[in-house]
């Protein structure tokens, strides 16, 4: 089994206008060290809300047991 080297979080872009300060995961995809997609992690799409990108990154990094530097957020 290949090891997770990088995780990309795409933000939920279907947020009500009054919740634009809240971040939620729209999709979470992990890649191996060669850039090959390992898995689309639907279990993390659970409407959990974050008030900063740093908090979202820390949560995702903890879920995968990787460094925060290995997590990228894209909108």
The mean pLDDT values, 10 residues at a time, for the chain of 75 residues are 90 72 91 91 89 95 95 92
Polymer length in residues for the chain: 75
Residue of 64, 57, 75 lying closest to 39 (CA atoms) = 64
Q: Where are the beta strands (DSSP E) in 1-75?
A: 6-11, 25-31, 37-40, 71-74
| pLDDT number for residue 39 | 87
Domain ranges within the chain, ordered by starting residue:
6-74
Q: Name the nearest CA neighbour of 60 among 10, 2, 16, 14.
A: 10
What's the pTM?
0.85
**pLDDT value for 71:** 97
Q: Is 60 exposed, middle or buried (0-12, 13-18, 19+ CB in 10 A)?
A: buried
pLDDT for the residue numbered 72: 96
């Amino acid at each position: 089994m290949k090891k997770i080297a990088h995780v990309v979080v795409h933000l939920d872009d279907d947020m009500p206008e009054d919740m634009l300060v809240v971040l939620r995961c729209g999709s979470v995809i992990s890649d191996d060290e060669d850039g090959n997609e390992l898995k689309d992690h639907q279990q993390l799409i659970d409407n959990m809300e974050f008030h900063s990108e740093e908090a979202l990154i820390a949560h995702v990094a903890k879920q995968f047991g990787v460094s925060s530097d290995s997590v990228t957020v894209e909108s």
